[in-house]
Structure 1
Amino acid sequence: MQDTDRYHKEARRAGDRLIARHVKEDPFAAAFKATRMPMIVTDPAQHDNPIIFCNAAFEKMTGYSNDELIGRNCRLLQGPETDRRSVGYIRDSVARGQDISVDILNYRKDGSTFWNALFISPVRDDEGRIIYFFASQLDFTTVKSREAELALARHQAEEAVARNMAELKSALLAKTLLIHEVDHRVKNNLLTMASIVKLQARFTQDTVKKQTLMSVLNRVEALSTVQRKLFTLDDIARFDVADFIRELVTDLVSGVGRNDIRLTLDLAPLLVPAVKATPLSLIVNELVVDAVNRGLSDGGGAIHVVVKRMHGHFVIRVEDTTTPVEPDAEAAEFGRLLLEASARQLAANVERKIEGDKIVVEVMLLIDEHQENEN
């Protein structure tokens, strides 16, 4: 107790000596006392580097009186939740005589906490020896609280987003499963229809009826190919035209049973909305079947199919080179009507050109890049 009183008196005298060096009119001393920023001065030459001077702002911030602060080390502001690493940093920096800038949780006299932006600088004499430490503080508890509130709000928002994403993924999965189930059932129904038509054609003796049934079978199988492709898609909203055409055209040409048909394909990957898959399948089917009926099935020849993007559109082009034969007029007219109806459904433009023994049919459909990506 006697040592404590002695240290307190020594600290008080050191503070008095510090103030006595400045005349009353000294603006620096007046500013130090009157400023609203909490400030203290400590004396490293004394035991435990005690506070020898503090201004009124520091007393107000901490709740301690001047008598309670003078002669005490600043650690009296520390408490149970004060970061030990920050305390160690302050202690080591003071020992090395370095400037310090640190945010630390401190305690007032009444036990309440506040966040203290602490700045400590050594004061040296003409010979470079440290004679004082000057410290200023700033209570930024409100800012820290807002940071905590923002962090909490951000965390809650992230949790909400995560929950919503999980719900959306679950809903999308359910939708995908449902659509796949519908596609699967449609595919099975089309296969059943194809089997019935094929069986009927087998038992039909009339040549015209048989040809009619086979033309129906070709179209049903084209639709079945589309549904099978849709059923296996990971992205239920988009459909790769090129991948579908490769399979459909190959199957159609193979089904003719001639080795003298040369098939070449130039297909660029191209995604379109899945809702366009059915009319597209009918368009491609009619173009290839028309080429087969006009001579490929009788004398062979060449057929070249192109899919590409061009100037904000995509183009399907079917070129066939063969010795032409006269197709069945009724079947050809029905195919033309079906082609035009499917093209109108897609708002597509169909152009047909004859170049010697080559016939070129182009279908141009507006599917710009934005629409392709969005769908």
Structure 2
Amino acid sequence: MRASSIAMVMTDPTLPDHPIVFANDAFLRLTGYSLLEVMGRNCRFLQGPDSDAAAIADIRRAIAAGVDLTVELVNYRKDGSAFHNALSLSPVRGKSGEVRYFFATQVDVTDQHRQTDELRHANLALAAALETATTLVHEIDHRVKNNLQMVSAMILLQSLDRSDLRLRDSLLDTLSRVEALSTVHHRLHRSGDVSRFDVADYVRDLLDDLVGATGRTDIRVRLDLMPVLVQAGKSAALALLFNELFTNALKHAFPPGTPGTLAVSIAREATCIVAVIEDDGVGVSPTATRLSTFGQSLIQTLSRQLGAETTIGPMSPSGTRVRIELPLAIVAAPV
């Protein structure tokens, strides 16, 4: 006990004022007192202004009841400096069960408290910085969305003033792409987490809008969407890719008077996220996967930006199947 590196004392509850009757060198080093200065004194001399009254009351109750106790409280050294003391107190009983002494160890845990305080302050500062950054991002997204709405309005006005039907259709296609981007920013703006984008929710909303805009009641939609959260930085490219594929399917797969079903599934596999878009419409020609139109070129460009593999092919007996393999790297890290 004398040689231990852990501070130890023994007190005698049978003597007046329950004095210290043993203190090892580690206790003297911890408190800064000499052996003569601590012997015969009650341990309360280590207490001071910041010593927790509740902890002191717990110590008194444990001594009165003769039971073990572990507690932390602020104590003071001889030079007046404070330290956080992890105190363990145990009764030492005689042969007949009476309490002869109390044995106590003291461990200075000030550094741990300091590190905890520093970590708490750092977390508070980080949370405040994150809140500020989130507010700024929301404001930027809000402004971008408003600007996109202005662009949409100008494109719509131009399309109404054109006699060239091909040019008008091209402008309306561009309008659809701008509105898809606007929807992305709207989702990010109203989301509590601007760092992640919910693909499944976006697909549901986009299909509702696109199918509703056709005015067709004979086109059914079947969805099997696993929730997938991707990084916000990938949201625009992914939204444009889905918009292009859905628009092409609704425009070309089901001529007037031809009912059908558009099925979309999203699932996570071992090495990638797989999205499959299937329709039972009129099918795709053998040359449909070539870069013969702006839409097809856009699909290929967006796939490269996402690091995705997109394949388009016919189904049997009719229809078209699109398979998109998205890398797991675009998935947002959990929070």
Q: Distance between the aligned counterparts of 1:255 and 1:196, measured in 2?
A: 19
Q: Deviations over 1:148-176 (max 9, x none)?
A: x31x3333222222211111011101110
RCO comparison, higher one (Cα < 8 Å, 6+):
2
Q: Deviations over 1:8-64 (max 9, x none)?
A: xxxxxxxxxxxxxxxxxxxxxxxxxxxxx99999xx9xxx99xxxx99x9xx95579
* Higher Cα radius of gyration: 1
CA shift in 2, pair 1:297/1:258, >3 Å: farther
Letter in 2 for 1:338: L
Task: Give the deviation of 1:208 after TM superposition.
Answer: 1.3
Higher helix proportion (structure 1 or 2)? 1
Letter in 2 for 1:207: L
Partner of residue 23, structure 1: none
| Among 176, 179, 204, the residue aligned to 1:221 | 179
| CA RMSD after TM alignment | 4.2
Partner of residue 210, structure 2: 252
Letter in 2 for 1:182: I
Q: Does 1:317 align with 2:276?
A: yes
Task: Give the deviation of 1:207 after TM superposition.
Answer: 0.9
Q: Deviations over 1:277-299 (max 9, x none)?
A: 01111110111111122232533
Q: Distance between the aligned counterparts of 2:58 and 2:140, measured in 1?
A: 63
| Structure 1 stretches lacking a partner, 5+ long | 1-36, 65-73, 94-99, 104-114, 125-129
Partner of residue 343, structure 1: 303
Q: Distance between the aligned counterparts of 1:38 and 1:219, measured in 2?
A: 78
| Structure 2 stretches lacking a partner, 5+ long | 1-7, 25-33, 47-55, 71-86
Q: Deviations over 1:171-200 (max 9, x none)?
A: 101110111111111111111111111111
Task: Give the deviation of 1:246 after TM superposition.
Answer: 0.7
Q: Distance between the aligned counterparts of 1:218 and 1:102, measured in 2?
A: 71
Task: Give the deviation of 1:364 after TM superposition.
Answer: 0.5
Partner of residue 116, structure 2: 158
> Does the 8 Å CA contact 1:272/1:372 hold for their aligned counterparts?
yes
Q: Distance between the aligned counterparts of 1:257 and 1:206, measured in 2?
A: 23
CA shift in 2, pair 1:175/1:120, >3 Å: closer
CA shift in 2, pair 1:61/1:267, >3 Å: same
| Among 314, 317, 321, the residue aligned to 1:354 | 314
TM-score by length of structure 2 reads 0.70
Tell me the secondary structure at the aligned position of residue 373 of structure 1: coil
> Does the 8 Å CA contact 2:195/2:231 hold for their aligned counterparts?
yes
CA shift in 2, pair 1:244/1:77, >3 Å: same
Q: Distance between the aligned counterparts of 1:367 and 1:134, measured in 2?
A: 66
CA shift in 2, pair 1:296/1:163, >3 Å: same
Tell me the secondary structure at the aligned position of residue 234 of structure 1: coil
> Does the 8 Å CA contact 1:266/1:306 hold for their aligned counterparts?
yes
CA shift in 2, pair 1:200/1:154, >3 Å: same
Partner of residue 176, structure 1: 134
> Does the 8 Å CA contact 1:240/1:270 hold for their aligned counterparts?
yes
CA shift in 2, pair 1:302/1:159, >3 Å: same
| Among 265, 273, 276, the residue aligned to 2:223 | 265
Identity %: 29
Letter in 1 for 2:263: H
> Does the 8 Å CA contact 2:277/2:323 hold for their aligned counterparts?
yes
TM-score by length of structure 1 reads 0.63
Tell me the secondary structure at the aligned position of residue 222 of structure 2: strand
Tell me the secondary structure at the aligned position of residue 296 of structure 1: coil
CA shift in 2, pair 1:87/1:297, >3 Å: closer
Letter in 1 for 2:272: H
Q: Distance between the aligned counterparts of 1:261 and 1:38, measured in 2?
A: 85
